C-alpha cells in the first residue's frame, strides 16, 4: 500500500530531483497514512541509497540489472509497474522530466491508472483524488480528479521543497524482473554535456534576447550567470539566428524551466517565451522598452540599456560575493 | 513505409484564456484553432522524410480524436501535405481515452512509424504518445529531437538530462518528438490548400473506453503584483533586493 517513488541517479549519485520526489511522496504518504518505497535502478552505492531515507523513504529497492544503464521506455515501465503491483501501491510518483515523461504514461496504461502529469502541489483532496497542475501552457491551472484506484503522478520540476525526515530506511536489493526482450532501445552514442550547469536543473538563469543586438554582446550575460552560479538561456530568435546554442532556447517549443530566479535581458516577453518560464519563482526583466510585455510577467524590472545595466549588476554581485 | 502523425486541435498561443460554465470549460468565443505546435513539427518532419525517396516512406496520414468542429484543423494538416486523415468522432475527454482510440486506428491500418508531439499546448500532459505505445505494446522513444531513416531503420537523437543519445529501435514504434525535430513548421501553399479539398478525412466511431481523469475546475493564476521598477542609474539596488528581501541569490 506504500507510495512508490521512482528515483533517478546519474554517475552513481542521486539527482537533486530524487530528493524532491521522495519528500513529495513522503508528504502524500503522510496524508494517506502509509509509507514510502523508493525505487532506484542502476549502480548506486549503499551509502548513497541510505540518503533517500533522510527524506522519508522507509524501504529502498535497489534494482540491479545490466540493461538498466540506458533508458528503454517499455522495459522501465514494466519494471516500475511490476514493483507497484507487488507493493500494492495506490500512488506512484515520478519526475516530470524527460525520463518521467517517457515512463509514466506507459506505467499508467499497464496499471489502468489515471495520470496527473506535471503536478505542482500536494493533492488538493484524497477523496476524490484531486491534483493541481498547470494548463494552457501556464495561463491557467487545473484541478484534475483522478478517478481510478491507482494514480500515477509526475512532479513538476522545482515545485516541491526538499524536506528532511529522520527515518531508518531498509535497503532491499532485487534483480530486475523484466522480460529481457522488452529492452529494444539501442543506444549507439552518448554525448554528455560536461561542465555547464544543466539549464533545467539551474536555480538561477540569466537569459538574453534579441534586444542584446549581437552575439558579441553576450559576455556580460555569461559573466553574470557565472557569478550567480547559474545557467545561461536565450529566447527563440536568438537561437534561430545561431547566436546561442539551440539547447539554451527557453520557450514554448524550447525548454520549459522553473528556476528560483530568471533574469530576462533584452527579451520582449512574447507569449511563447513566457510559456517556457512562467513557473519561475521570480522573474527579473531588463529592457530598454518600458512597454515590453515582459514587465507584466516580472516581479522586478529595470528599464534601461542592457549593455549599461549589466556591468553595474555584475559589479554589485562581485561586491556581495566578497 | 507508412507514417501516422497524431494531431490535436488547440487554441492558438495568442488566445486570451478564460473559462465559462463555472470555470469548467474554456471560453471558445473568438478562439483561433490550430494544430498543436509540437504535432505540427512532427508532421513537418514526416513530410520531409517522405520527400526523400531514399527513406521508403510512402504515405503520411494524420489521426485526430475530436468532433466535426475539428475538421478545419485537420484540413490544415492535409494542406501542409498529409496524404489523408482519420478522425475518430468523439470528445477527447482525457489522454487515456484518446490514446485508446488512436490505438484502434493504428491496429486497423498498420502503421510503421507513429509520431506524436511531446505535449499539447492546452493540457501540457505529455501523456498521449506514451500511453498509445503501451496500448500497442510497441517501443516508444521520447524527447526525440532528430529523426532519420537509414536502411529502413529509424535513427534518432533523444534528449536526456545532461546530454543526448543516438538511438534506434525496431519498427513499428512511437516517436514522441520535441523541438529540433524540424526547423520550422511547414506552411500550406496555395496549391496544397487546393489539393487538400479533395483529400479524404475518414471518420470512424470510437471504441468503448473509460476516461480516468477529469478536470473539476480551472483557475486563473492569481493576478501578479505590478512589476517593481529599479532605477536604471542604480541597478545595484536590484542585487540588494534579490539578496536580502527575496533571498534568491
What ipTM was predicted for this assembly? 0.94
Q: How confident is the model at residue A165 (pLDDT cuts 50, 70, 90)?
A: confident
Q: Using an 8 Å CB-CB cutoff, list chain A residues near B221.
A: 138-141
pLDDT at B160: 86
Asked if B94 and B221 count as a contact pair (C-beta separation under 8 A), the reply is no
Taking alpha carbons only, the member of B227, B225, B230, B226 closest to residue B241 is B230
- Which residues in chain A are closer than 8 Å to B135, comparing Cβ atoms? 109
User: Under an 8 A CB cutoff, do B221 and A298 touch?
Assistant: no
Mean pLDDT of A203-224: 96
Q: Which residues of A touch B118 (CB under 8 A)?
A: 101
Judge: B126–A148 Cβ closer than 8 Å, yes or no. Answer: no
C-alpha span between B137 and A320 (Å, rounded)? 56
Residues 6+ apart with CB under 8 A from B86: B61, B62, B63, B64, B105, B109, B201, B202, B203, B204
Q: What percent of chain A has pLDDT over 90?
A: 79
Binned at pLDDT 50, 70 and 90, residue A127 comes out as: very high
> Between A102, A249, A272, which is nearest B142 by CB?
A102
Neighbouring CB atoms inside 10 A of A215's CB total 13
CB pairs under 8 A between A and B: 277
B213 contacts in A (CB within 8 Å)?
A: 114-116, 144-147
Cα dist from A169 to A53, A56, B195, whole Å: 5, 8, 65
Residue B29 DSSP symbol? T
Q: Map residue A128 onto helix, strand or coil.
A: coil
Q: Are A126 and A32 in contact (CB under 8 A)?
A: yes
Cell of A274: 513566457
Q: What gap in Å lies between CA B180 and CA B147, rounded to an integer?
A: 9
CATH code matching the domain that covers B2-222, chosen among 1.10.4190.10, 3.40.50.720, 3.40.50.620, 3.30.360.10: 3.40.50.620
> Which chain B residues have a beta carbon less than 8 Å from that of A201?
161
Of A152, A8, A155, give the one whose Cα is nearest residue A71: A8
Model confidence over A235-264: pLDDT tens digits?
Answer: 999 999 999 998 899 998 788 898 999 999
A46 pLDDT tier (thresholds 50, 70, 90): confident
Residue A105 is placed in which grid cell?
504514461
Check whether domain A204-321 has CATH 3.40.50.1220, yes or no:
yes
Give, in degrees to the nearest 5, the angle at Cα A22 between A17 and A27.
Answer: 125
φ and ψ at residue A212, rounded to 5 degrees: -75, -15
For residue B236, give the C-alpha cell. 545595484
**pLDDT at position A263, please?**
98
Distance (Å) from the alpha carbon of A46 to chain B's nearest alpha carbon? 24
Backbone angles phi, psi at B60, to 5 degrees: -125, 120
Q: How many CB atoms lie within 10 A of CB B245?
A: 10
**Per-residue model confidence as pLDDT tens digits over A263-310:** 999 999 998 899 899 889 999 999 999 999 999 999 999 999 999 999
Nearest to B220 among A140, A272, A295 (CB): A140
Domain boundaries, chain A: 3-182, 204-321
Mutate to test the interface with B, among A253, A282, A286, A289 (most CBs of B within 10 A): A253
Instruction: Using a CB–CB cutoff of 8 Å, tell me whether B97 touches chain A.
Output: no
What's the fold here for domain A3-182? Rossmann fold (3.40.50)
Contact yes or no for B160 and A98 at CB 8 A = yes
Q: What are phi and psi of A11, to 5 degrees?
A: 55, 40
In A, residues 157-196, which contact B (CB 8 Å cutoff)?
A: 184-193
From the candidates B123, B144, B155, which should be mutated to test the interface with A, based on the most A CB atoms within 10 A? B123
Contact list in B for residue A117 (CB cut-off 8 A) is 124-127
Residue A195: predicted pLDDT: 63
How close is the nearest chain A Cα to the Cα of B22, in Å?
13
The alpha carbon of residue B222 is apart from the nearest alpha carbon of chain A, in Å, by 9
Please tell me the distance from the alpha carbon of residue A233 to that of residue A222, in angstroms, as a whole number: 9
By Cβ distance, the residue of B135, B213, B221 closest to A109 is B135
CA closest to A313 among chain B residues: B236
Residue B122: closest CA among B204, B175, B66: B66
Is pLDDT above 70 for A194?
no
**Cell output for B164:** 543526448
Return the residue in B135, B170, B249 with the most chain A beta carbons within 10 A, the one to mutate for interface testing.
B249
Judge whether B6 is closer than 8 Å to chain A, CB to CB. Answer: no
Residue B211 DSSP class: -
The distance of Cα B247 from the centroid of its chain, to the nearest Å, equals 38
pLDDT for A124 beyond 80: yes
Per-position pLDDT tens, chain B of length 249: 999 999 999 999 889 999 999 999 999 999 999 999 999 999 999 999 999 999 999 999 999 999 999 999 999 999 999 999 999 999 999 999 999 999 999 999 999 999 999 999 999 999 999 999 999 999 999 999 999 999 999 999 999 877 899 999 999 999 999 988 998 999 999 999 999 999 989 999 999 999 999 999 999 988 778 999 999 999 999 999 999 998 898
Q: Is the pLDDT of residue A96 over 70?
A: yes
- Domain residue ranges in chain B: 2-222
What three-state secondary structure class fits A71? coil
| CB distance B168 to B155 below 8 Å | yes
Alpha-carbon distance A170 to A173, whole Å? 10
Amino acid at each position: 500500500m506504500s507510495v512508490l517513488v521512482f528515483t533517478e541517479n546519474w554517475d552513481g549519485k542521486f539527482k537533486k530531483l530524487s530528493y524532491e520526489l521522495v519528500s513529495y511522496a513522503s508528504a502524500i504518504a503522510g496524508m494517506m497514512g502509509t509509507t514510502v518505497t523508493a525505487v532506484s535502478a542502476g549502480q548506486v552505492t549503499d551509502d548513497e541509497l541510505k540518503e533517500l531515507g533522510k527524506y522519508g523513504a522507509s524501504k529502498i529497492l535497489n534494482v540491479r540489472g545490466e540493461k538498466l544503464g540506458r533508458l528503454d521506455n517499455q522495459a522501465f515501465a514494466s519494471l516500475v509497474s511490476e514493483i507497484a503491483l507487488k507493493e500494492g501501491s495506490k500512488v506512484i510518483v515520478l519526475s516530470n522530466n524527460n525520463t518521467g515523461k517517457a515512463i509514466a504514461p506507459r506505467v499508467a496504461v499497464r496499471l489502468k491508472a489515471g495520470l496527473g502529469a506535471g503536478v505542482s502541489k500536494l493533492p488538493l483532496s484524497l477523496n476524490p483524488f484531486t491534483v493541481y497542475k498547470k494548463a494552457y501552457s501556464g495561463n491557467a491551472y487545473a484541478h484534475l480528479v483522478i478517478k481510478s484506484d491507482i494514480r500515477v503522478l509526475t512532479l513538476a520540476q522545482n515545485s516541491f521543497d526538499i524536506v528532511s525526515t529522520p527515518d531508518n530506511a531498509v535497503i532491499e536489493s532485487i534483480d530486475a524482473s523484466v522480460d529481457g526482450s522488452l529492452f529494444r532501445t539501442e543506444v549507439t552514442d552518448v554525448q554528455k554535456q560536461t561542465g555547464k550547469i544543466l539549464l533545467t536543473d539551474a536555480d538561477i538563469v540569466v537569459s538574453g534576447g534579441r534586444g542584446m543586438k549581437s552575439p558579441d554582446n553576450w559576455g556580460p550575460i555569461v559573466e553574470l550567470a557565472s557569478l550567480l552560479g547559474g545557467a545561461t538561456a536565450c529566447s527563440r530568435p536568438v537561437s534561430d539566428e545561431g547566436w546561442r546554442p539551440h539547447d539554451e532556447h527557453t520557450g514554448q517549443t524550447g525548454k520549459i524551466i522553473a528556476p528560483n530566479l530568471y533574469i530576462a535581458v533584452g527579451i520582449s516577453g512574447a507569449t511563447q517565451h513566457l510559456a517556457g518560464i512562467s513557473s519561475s519563482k521570480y522573474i527579473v526583466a531588463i529592457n530598454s522598452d518600458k512597454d515590453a510585455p515582459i514587465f507584466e510577467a516580472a516581479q522586478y524590472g529595470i528599464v534601461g540599456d542592457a549593455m549599461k545595466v549589466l556591468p553595474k549588476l555584475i559589479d554589485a554581485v562581485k561586491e556581495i560575493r566578497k | 513505409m507508412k507514417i501516422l502523425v497524431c494531431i490535436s486541435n488547440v487554441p492558438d498561443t495568442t488566445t486570451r484564456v478564460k473559462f465559462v460554465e463555472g470555470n469548467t470549460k474554456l471560453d471558445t468565443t473568438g478562439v483561433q484553432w490550430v494544430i498543436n505546435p509540437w504535432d505540427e513539427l512532427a508532421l513537418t518532419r514526416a513530410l520531409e522524410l517522405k520527400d526523400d525517396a531514399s527513406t521508403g516512406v510512402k504515405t503520411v496520414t494524420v489521426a485526430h480524436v475530436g468532433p466535426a468542429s475539428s475538421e478545419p484543423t485537420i484540413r490544415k494538416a492535409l494542406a501542409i501535405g498529409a496524404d489523408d486523415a482519420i478522425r475518430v468522432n468523439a470528445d477527447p475527454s482525457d489522454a487515456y481515452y484518446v490514446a485508446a482510440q488512436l490505438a484502434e486506428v493504428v491496429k486497423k491500418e498498420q502503421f510503421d512509424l507513429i509520431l506524436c508531439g511531446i505535449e499539447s499546448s492546452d493540457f501540457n500532459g505529455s501523456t498521449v504518445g506514451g500511453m498509445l505505445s503501451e496500448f500497442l505494446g510497441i517501443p516508444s522513444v521520447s524527447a526525440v529531437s532528430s529523426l532519420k531513416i537509414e536502411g529502413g531503420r529509424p535513427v534518432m537523437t533523444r534528449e536526456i538530462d545532461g546530454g543526448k543519445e543516438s538511438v534506434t529501435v525496431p519498427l513499428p514504434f512511437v516517436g514522441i518528438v520535441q523541438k529540433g525535430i524540424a526547423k520550422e513548421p511547414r506552411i500550406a501553399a496555395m496549391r496544397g490548400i487546393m489539393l487538400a479539398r479533395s483529400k479524404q478525412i475518414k471518420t470512424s466511431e470510437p471504441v468503448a473506453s473509460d476516461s480516468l481523469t477529469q478536470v473539476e475546475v480551472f483557475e486563473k493564476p492569481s493576478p501578479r503584483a505590478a512589476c517593481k521598477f529599479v532605477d536604471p542609474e542604480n541597478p545595484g539596488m536590484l542585487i540588494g533586493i534579490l539578496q536580502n528581501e527575496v533571498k534568491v541569490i
